[in-house]
Amino acid sequence: MLGTIIVTLVVGIIIGFLGKAVAPGDRDNIPVWLTIVCGIVGAFVGSYIYYAIFGVADNNPGGDMYDTSKGIDWWRHLWQIAVAAILVVVASTVTGRNKSRV
């Protein structure tokens, strides 16, 4: 249980900061804790969307939503980062912290 929490936080940090890095313009001025939340939610939602569209690869018949192919699934991670970037933009807009509202 503790291992799952630690892995989730690490993945949230990485995906959140990558999503923040690819967010367009000055819309990424949000606190670190909100970036991590966007990363965690982006990782889960991105994985779900990827699994719903593409399913499990033929070379991994026993896979599930978090194990869609053998090895590292780079496409799934790109979906996670894209969802996190969208969430960063939404969070910035909702919190009123984007510089474009001047």
Give the integer Cα–Cα distance in Å for 67 and 62.
Answer: 9
Please provide the DSSP assignment of 30-60 as one string: --HHHHHHHHHHHHHHHHHHHHHHH---TT-
Delimit the domains of the chain by residue range: 2-21+32-94
* 3-state secondary structure at position 73: coil
Residue % of the chain over a pLDDT of 70: 74
Under DSSP, the state recorded for 72 is -
Torsion angles phi and psi, residue 91, rounded to 5: -60, -40
Predicted confidence (pLDDT) per residue in 59-99, tens digit:
566 666 666 666 677 888 888 889 998 998 888 888 876 56
Give the integer Cα–Cα distance in Å for 9 and 40.
Answer: 7
Lowest mean pLDDT among 13-17, 22-26, 33-37, 62-66: 62-66
Q: Which residue has the higher pLDDT, 37 or 22?
A: 37
pLDDT of residue 67: 63
